[in-house]
Amino acid sequence: MLANSINQLITDLPTQIGSDVTAFLSELVLCGTVVALLLGRLLGIDRKMPGHWIAMAGTLIAFGIAFGNVYANGPDAYQVGEDAQLFSGLLVNDGLTVFFRLFLLVFLVLVIALTVLSGIPDNEDGPDFYTLLIGATIGMMLMASANHLLMLFLAVEMASVPSYVMVGFLKGKRLSSEAALKYVVYGAGAAGVMLYGTSLVAGMLGTGQLHLVAEKLRDLLTSEVGVGTDMSTAAVRTIVLGVMMILVGLAFKLSLVPFHFWCPDAFEGAPAEVGGFLSVASKAAAFALLIRVVHQLTGFGDLAVPLAIGLGVIAVVSSTFGNLAAYFQTNVKRMLAYSTIAHAGYMLTGVVAMLVALEDGNQMLATDCVEGVLFYLSVYLFMNLGAFAIVALIRNRTYSEEIADYRGLKNECPWLCVMMAVCLFSLVGLPPLGGFVAKFFVLAPVWEAASIHWSMGVLVGFALLNTVFSLFYYLKVPVAMFIVDRPEDARPARTGSTEAVFVLLLTAPILLLGMSPLISKLSLAAERVAHDTITVPDGARTSTSPEK
């Protein structure tokens, strides 16, 4: 099989490589930026030209390429079905890939801008930090475009390893090193489990191609020589185990309960900038991968719905636990860490409903579910990064990330406080902020899926109850900022206008995505991507097996 792949690669190389590389250009530019950063360090250029300029320039070029492609070609910027495969099927360049490529590049630009403002890697450490940051982003972009179980594992690891280092980036701090160590140990464990899972699945199905998993599964379970969907068969048990192990790896990246233990510690120890980066980028990439993997689980037939309900339970437990645990936190970063656990739970309900809808053959509904998740992630980017950015900027003045030290800040830096309130209330999901629209777009299709399986209604119920719970702890920050007076001996925390403008830039999309016609623009784009993601593999299937 390996020989075949190599042969195919060699024969296809001259014709294929050109278009493959074009589609992969943004990632290559980022790779080039990493090389430039390291070379700059080697030649001492970083003394004259700080690392963040090189990083920013490279990211902007990569973003320009990705955006220009989408801008010029519209829906033709990506391919569908077999045409979308790159590098002999290891990667795909479909709608989801393009969506997350843009998403991650926008995010990377914002994070680099934030680090420049907050100055967390100093000039000395700059090139190292940006190498890690960009390296992790490349890994995440690969996660979003992985089309092979091997790539799935490699991409997750490529995203994880730089993340471990970034969490421990504050070298002198004990808390930071401890956080990094916890993250590494958990990450290594999860990676091992996931690797085992991928080998089980690949071994049972005889393919590593992600888009073939559903078909092979169906063949294995239902064809004449099939083993049926009876859990008592060893083959079924093995494959279910394999799939679950892969899901464990992804759940670790998503910090879903019970694979979340690293998350609060890592976020508390890491600089807020890194926390913001991990909470958004790594989650988004993991969701892209999760959508691809869960989409293939339809091959399980009757077993798919129980699996979906299992995931639904994880979603409910994650959001409930995240919200309850967040209530007792006194450190803002730790509180936000628990909040990201809860939000992963909300978004997971959308993926669960997608599986249920697909199993029922309702592709329209499945499209809506994916659309909701994509929209949620887009809003989540701004509200979560906004919150972390404000934490970082305030930390630069007060040297504290405790809620108690936020008391009465409204007089010191009113804009940051107002924007923090916007971010947090958007995280609660209150209109007219983007968080509400996002939550609505995720939960509405889940509610509709309740007509297929009643448990989906329960998911919505829990998500809504959690919204009420979450108000309690999110409010603690605005209460401290606006209602309580500043203690006499508190450190002054006046911030400059550049910071305010940057934060305003981050929060403006939250307002726009809550009120303006931009909502429909984004949701239409998300719908198109979701539509192509959901329906294309099915179309491909009809070409191979006409009776289906």
Partner 1 sequence: MFQEHLPTLIIFAPTIGAVLLMLMPKDNEEGLRYTALTVTIVTFILTLALLPGFDMSEAGMQYTYSAEWIPNWNINYQLGIDGISLPLILLTSFISLWAMVASWSITKQIKGYLILFLLLETGMLGVFMATDFFLFYVFWEVMLLPMYFLIGIWGGPRKEYAAIKFFLYTLFGSVLMLVALLMIYFNSHHPESNEHIFDLLLLTDAAQGNEGLLNPVMQQWAFWLLFIGFAIKIPSVPFHTWLPDAHVEAPTPISMILAGVLLKMGGYGILRIAFPLCPVAVFDGSTVLVAIGVISIIYGAFAAMAQTDFKRLVAYSSVSHMGYVVLGIGVVGVVSADTASDYWKMGINGAMFQMLGHGVSSAGMFFMVGVVYDRVHHRNLNEFGGLAGKMPLYTGLSAGIFFAGLGLPGMCGFIGEVFVVLSAWQFSKILAIVAASGVILTAGYILWTLQRVYLGAEYKGPHEEALTPMLARERIVAGVLLVFAIILGVFPNLMFQYMIPSIQKLTDGMAGQMAGL
Q: Which residues bind partner 1 (CB under 8 A)?
A: 410, 425, 430-432, 436-437, 440-441, 443-444, 447-448, 451, 460-461, 464-465, 467-468, 471-472, 475, 479, 482-483, 517, 519-520, 523-524, 527
CA distance 81 to 176: 44
**CB of 520 vs partner 1, minimal distance in Å:** 5
- 255: closest CA among 198, 336, 332? 336
| Closest CB 345 distance from partner 1, rounded Å | 17
Cα(426)–Cα(375) distance, integer angstroms? 14
Distance of CA 80 to the CA centre of its chain: 22
For 361, the 3-state DSSP assignment is coil
Q: How far is the CB of 534 from partner 1 (least distance, A)?
A: 15
For partner 1, give the closer residue by CB, 261 or 472.
Answer: 472
- Tell me how long the chain is: 548
Give the residues across from 331 on adjacent strands: 402
DSSP state of 516: S
**CA 313 – CA 308 distance, rounded (Å):** 9
Peptide bond into 487 cis (omega under 30): no
Q: State both tokens at 389.
A: 């950015």
- Least spacing, CB of residue 501 vs partner 1, in Å: 15
Neighbours of 361 (CB within 10 A): 11
- Nearest Cα residue to 60 out of 136, 97, 112, 5: 112
Q: How far is the CB of 516 from partner 1 (least distance, A)?
A: 9
Say how far apart CA 360 and CA 301 lie, in whole Å: 10
Minimal distance, residue 87 CB to partner 1, in Å: 34
Closest to partner 1 by CB, 328 or 472: 472
**Please, which residue, 287 or 447, has the CB nearer to partner 1?**
447
Give the position of tokens 């120890």.
269
Alpha carbon distance 208, 206 (integer Å): 7
* Cα(409)–Cα(93) distance, integer angstroms: 47
Cβ 403 to partner 1 shortest distance, Å = 14
Question: Which of 270/460 has CB closer to partner 1?
Answer: 460
Rank residues 265 and 448 by Cβ distance to partner 1 and give the closer one.
Answer: 448
Tell me how far, at minimum, the Cβ of 194 lies from partner 1, in Å: 36
Of the pair 404, 524, the CB lying nearest partner 1 is at 524
Q: How far apart are CA 148 and CA 141, in angstroms?
A: 14
State the nearest-atom distance from the C-beta of 414 to partner 1, in Å.
Answer: 8
Q: Which is nearer to partner 1, 64 or 457 (CB)?
A: 457
Least distance from partner 1 to the Cβ atom of residue 78, Å: 20
Closer residue to partner 1, CB minimum distance, 209 or 426: 426
DSSP count for the chain of H helices, then E strands = 21, 2
At residue 86, φ and ψ (nearest 5 deg) are -115, 155
CA quadruple 465, 344, 353, 75: dihedral sign: positive
Query: Strands 85-86, 91-92: parallel, antiparallel or unpaired by DSSP?
Result: antiparallel
φ/ψ of residue 528, rounded to 5: -65, -45
Q: Which is nearer to partner 1, 256 or 522 (CB)?
A: 522
Nearer of residues 42 and 524 to partner 1, judged by Cβ = 524
